[in-house]
Amino acid sequence: MTNKSVTRRGVLKSGAVAGTGLALPTIFTASSAAAYTNEPTGSSVTLGFNVPQTGPYAEEGNDELLAQQLAVEHLNGEGDGGCLNTFSSKALQGNGILGKKVEFVTGDTQTKSDAARASAKSMIEKDGAVMINGGSSSGVAVAVQGLCQEAGVIFMAGLTHANDTTGKDKKANGFRHFFNAYMSGAALAPVLAAEMGNERRAYHLTADYNWGWTQEESIVASTEALGWETVNTVKTPLASTDFSSYIAPVLNSGADVLVLNHYGGNMVNSLTNAIQFGLLDKVANGKDFKIVVPLYSELMAAGAGENIKGVLGSMNWNWQLQDEGTKAFVKSFGEKYGKPPSNSAQTCYAQTLLYADACERAGTFNPCGVVEALEDFEFDGLGNGPTWYRGADHQCFKDVLVVRGNENPTNAYDTLEIVEITPRAQVEYDPEHPMFAGGELGQCNPGA
């Protein structure tokens, strides 16, 4: 017993001493002497790949991860070099970035803003990542973009399609290569007019969250400009798996086009329900009934199987494009992983190369230098044709693809066919466009 009381006193004493000793430096904290957050000092530089590895977009996340790993290989001069050979900027030598070998860490966003931020924070605080790349949801992209702005690292968004990412939530340290809902609308409208005429009545089913609303707003605006009428817009809960009760009223609404502002599993289910109700065989207002899915992805197409035949939508990129950049990327991705890459994979690959190239041109990893190098950067050869990274909102402008579910696919991967490549000029908009207004880019933040 005496033994116990002695240890307690000892514990008390040492605890108090250690406590004050520890508390002192934190009171006078100031960050270290580095010029910017996570300045790489050794022979390597660390990039953070933050993708959904579990949850509804896990498959897409894994595809992104494969592409990012490929990009790191190419940057380090391994493999066949991929798009480094076709990229219009020749700053990258295949010897890493600024002579430092590229290493990477991975994390799981779980498609939740919180988890994504936790994972990105650990990359920044623990692993010393200077750039975060990837993701498959706009909510996550906006959340992580905000974090990177505060922490002083660069964020290269992966798949994020809501207008807000480079609209009201835009940040100086964040960059988006992927296209957005406004561009989908602008690209789809002429094709819709050509295929379905100018006197259609559209019925929207919209996933009830931020991305769904911005997409609905964009599509409604661009189709009404054609002369279409919007019969109704119905919000569906994100967690729905059965859309029958939402599809049934469409038949009696007098509409002749159904627009599904859904993504991922939602879209697969709602489209399947719509086909089961025989919508595509109906004739309304003397016209054949049509379905439009404004945002497509290869993985959704694979999930919906037969049902997507003939259904129109838009994409950022597709592996069937015939330009040099696409061919180089598809070749090295295919040789390494035995399948063609998805459009989210291509975005992450391009973003990684663009970041590396910007560092190389700026001669530093300092986020402010990188921001300056990326702003209003014009490039080509990464698969999307001539592309412009606009300085005013950090959005990429490039051609947008309008695609259609292939009627006669010859293998598991050509489920989509390219209908039209909408030229860049047609999808450009003013940075102060009402759908994007309200945000502020702010100043680049190098942290430290």
Partner 1 sequence: MLGLNKKDTSLLIIVGILTLLAPFILNPFPSDSAMAQFNAGYPDLMQRFVIFGIFAIGFNILFGLTGYLSFGHAAFLGVGSYSAVWMFKLLSYNVIPAIALSVVVAGLFSLLIGFVSLRRSGIYFSILTLAFAQMSFALAYSVLSNPKFNLTNGETGLQVYADDPQILQGANAPDLPHLFGLPMRATYTLDVGAWSFDFNAGYYLCAVVMMVVFYLAIRIFRSPFGMMLRAVKSNQQRMNYTGLNSKPYTLAAFVISGMYAGLAGGLMAAMDPLAGAERMQWTASGEVVLMTILGGTGTLIGPVLGAGFIKYFENIFSKINDNVLHSWFAFLPDGLEDAVVFLIHPFIGKGWHLTLGILFMLVVIYLPGGLVEGGQRLMKWFKRKKSGTDDAPSGKTEPAE
Under the rule (CB under 8 A), what is the footprint of partner 1?
8, 11-12, 14-15, 18-19, 22-23, 25-32, 53-54, 58, 62, 69, 104-108, 112-115, 117-119, 121-122, 125-126, 137-139, 142-143, 146-147, 150-151, 164, 168-169, 208-211, 213, 235, 237-238, 439-440, 442
Instruction: Name beta bridge partners: 103.
Output: 46
CB of 14 to partner 1, least distance (A): 8
CB of 392 to partner 1, least distance (A): 16
Q: The tokens of 243 are what?
A: 């859309």
**Strand-strand pairing, 287-288 and 283-284:** antiparallel
State the nearest-atom distance from the C-beta of 241 to partner 1, in Å.
Answer: 15
CB–CB of 102/43 below 8 Å? no
Residue 415 Cβ vs partner 1, minimum distance, rounded to whole Å: 25
> Smallest gap, in angstroms, from Cβ of residue 119 to partner 1?
7
Smallest gap from residue 321 Cβ to partner 1 (A): 30
> Considering beta carbons, is residue 7 or 252 the nearer one to partner 1?
7
Q: Which amino acid is at 280?
A: L
Query: What tokens does 73 get?
Result: 């290989």
By beta-carbon proximity to partner 1, the closer residue of 29 and 411 is: 29
Closer CB to partner 1, 74 or 112, in the complex: 112
DSSP string of 86-124, one letter each residue: T-S-----SS-BTTBEEEEEEEE-TT-HHHHHHHHHHHH
CB of 235 to partner 1, least distance (A): 7
Long-range pairs of 142-145 with CB within 8 A, sequence gap ≥ 24: 142/113, 142/169, 143/113, 143/114, 143/116, 143/117, 144/50, 144/109, 144/113, 144/116, 144/117, 144/120, 145/169, 145/171, 145/173, 145/174
What tokens does 131 get? 């750039």
Residue where the block lists tokens 């990188």 = 370
Q: What six digits make up the tokens of 218?
A: 């964009």
